[in-house]
Amino acid sequence: MVRQKPSGEERKKWQENMADFFELPKELLCNLPRITLVGDLQMLLENYGGVIEYNDELLRLKIREGEVVVRGKNFTIKHFLADELLIEGKIFSVEYR
């Protein structure tokens, strides 16, 4: 009997079910981004893949299945690690693409 490799959707569903079963945060098991907003002045993003574009009004970040686009003004990166980014400034919008 030949066993087929699970598709991306099947693997994703399995990971979500395991996270639910073990009561683990899905962002840990599924490598999903986690965004924490403090009002419209600060944003912490965890589990991202890298910076695509950055200036004082736009931040584009690579995530597992696309990108996150943050628009605003007077952006400043306050904390920058391989898997965590903290920005401050006036945040107008956060969009998934």
List pLDDT tens digits, range 32-58: 788 999 999 999 999 888 999 999 999
**Domain membership flag for residue 57:** yes
Parent domain of 44 = 32-96
**Domain membership flag for residue 75:** yes
**Domain membership flag for residue 3:** no
Contacts of 93 (CB under 8 A, 6+ apart): 69, 70, 71, 72
Mean pLDDT of 72-88: 93
Q: What is the CATH number of the domain that holds 55?
A: 2.60.40.2000
- Reply yes or no on whether the pLDDT at 29 is more than 60: no
The region of weakest confidence among 26-30, 39-43, 76-80, 81-85 is 26-30
Of the chain, the end-to-end C-alpha distance in Å amounts to 40
Name the domain count of the chain: 1
pLDDT for res 22: 67
**Domain membership flag for residue 26:** no
